[in-house]
Amino acid sequence: MNRREFGLTIAAGVPALSAEGAAVQQAVGVDEARAIYARGISIDALANPGSMNVPWPPRGPLSAGQRASIAKSGLTALNVTVSADRFEPTVQNIALWTGEAAKYPDLLSIVRRHDDIARAKAAGSLGLILGFQDTEMIERDLSRLDTFRRLGVLIIQLTYNTRNLIGDGCLEPGDAGLSVFGRDAVARLNELGIAVDLSHCGTRTTATGIEASTRPPLITHSGCRELYRHPRSKEDRELKAMADKGGVVGIYLMPFLGGHPGPGKGATTEMLVRHIEHAIKVCGIDHVGIGSDLSVTPIEESPEYLRAERAFAEGRARRSSAAPDEDRQLFIPALNHPRRLEGVAELLAARGHSAAAVEKVIGGNFHRVLKDIWTA
């Protein structure tokens, strides 16, 4: 049994939802799901062409293996994190990916406007959407948002797990929401046509971010707290409010999707499908996608990787930035391959979702909403 067959077997054990929740009309088979992936726009709303989370292989220019995974992936575009805690290293990260795209033009391209996503699909390259997972590097200077927009940054997450000048992250017990400066930042992001990303944000920061934004807000990588009480995931009321503003949530493939009986084990395809279908039930089929929070290249749990993983986890714990369950496996084994969004399409097809629903979840919804946001 291969990885995809294993994933489908697991998903088959998920209890069926109602027609309203699962969008089951005109269901498609696995072969059609693969055809949808081949012809459609697929967008991973948070991923990396190189190393992600654990810095192994060491971060920097792409290796031959990473380039091979990108070529194999069939992925249209992804939101790649280029932010750092200071201005200069953030600019260096932007330069790194701009340089890699220039070095490998048949493999990578930089997305600077919405039409570039369709161009990447037509060319068979991977479109890189430059994004942030924090705003510490702007300090108190909102004009830096203009600078980053000119450098090609199109998605900015307001906070990470802790507090910054804009608002509170999901691990901050104060949960104070957006600051006055944060509201000014959201207004400027809206004016510039930069997507406001509320992943990692605290409950009140998420709520006030949705309220303050005049453009559809994004939650690029999260889960459903109703199914598993994790601070990185969102309450139903937050998901509904985001959808009511026209936004999209990307469900991650991380251990934060639910508990597992084995020590150190991560999430399963069954957990992933439950979160996707719950989000569809709460938000509607037009407001759910995928933000894997993973590298395009599969994780190989080599001794070097495991040592780097331990150091990564210990460092985050010392900085009080580690979320619960980070000591568990950081990927879903059945989807630990470059074509994981095709795997998601197959899982949804096996559950009876329609062709239209599958296409929307694996990228169509993010493709639509980004056009609405980036038209500044």
| Range name among 6-20, 260-274, 340-354 with the lowest pLDDT average | 6-20
Weakest mean pLDDT among 95-104, 155-164, 178-187, 314-323: 314-323
Task: For residue range 211-246, list pLDDT tens digits in order.
Answer: 999 999 999 999 999 999 999 999 999 999 999 999
Lowest average pLDDT, out of 88-102, 272-286, 307-321, goes to 307-321
Per the prediction, the chain carries an average pLDDT of 92
Residue 75 CA to residue 21 CA, distance in Å, equals 27
pLDDT in tens, 269-303: 999 999 999 999 999 999 999 999 999 999 999 99
Print the domain residue range for 22: 3-374
Beta carbons of 355 and 28 less than 8 angstroms apart: yes
Return d(Cα 238, Cα 252) in angstroms, integer.
Answer: 16
Q: Distance (Å, rounded) from C-alpha 185 to C-alpha 158?
A: 9
3-state secondary structure 282-336: HHCHHHEEECCCEECCCCCCCHHHHHHHHHHHHHHHHCCCCCCCCCCCCCCHHHC
| CATH code: domain of residue 223 | 3.20.20.140
Chain segment 24-43, per-residue pLDDT in tens: 456 678 899 999 999 999 99
What does the block give as tokens for 100? 């890699």
Record the pTM.
0.93
Question: 350 pLDDT exceeds 80?
Answer: yes
Confidence at residue 26, expressed as pLDDT on a 0 to 100 scale? 62
> Rounded to whole angstroms, how far apart are CA atoms 23 and 3?
25
Q: How many independent structural domains does the chain possess?
A: 1
Question: Above 90 in pLDDT, residue 146?
Answer: yes
SS (H, E, C) 164-228: CCCCCECCCCCCCCCCHHHHHHHHHHHHHCCEEECCCECHHHHHHHHHHCCCCCEEEEECECCCC
Which two structure tokens, joined as six digits, stand for 49? 């062409």
- The pLDDT of residue 268: 96
308-314 average pLDDT score: 92
Residue 376 binned pLDDT confidence (cut-offs 50, 70, 90): low
Split at pLDDT 50, 70, 90, the class of 163 is very high
The pLDDT of 158-183, averaged and rounded, is 97
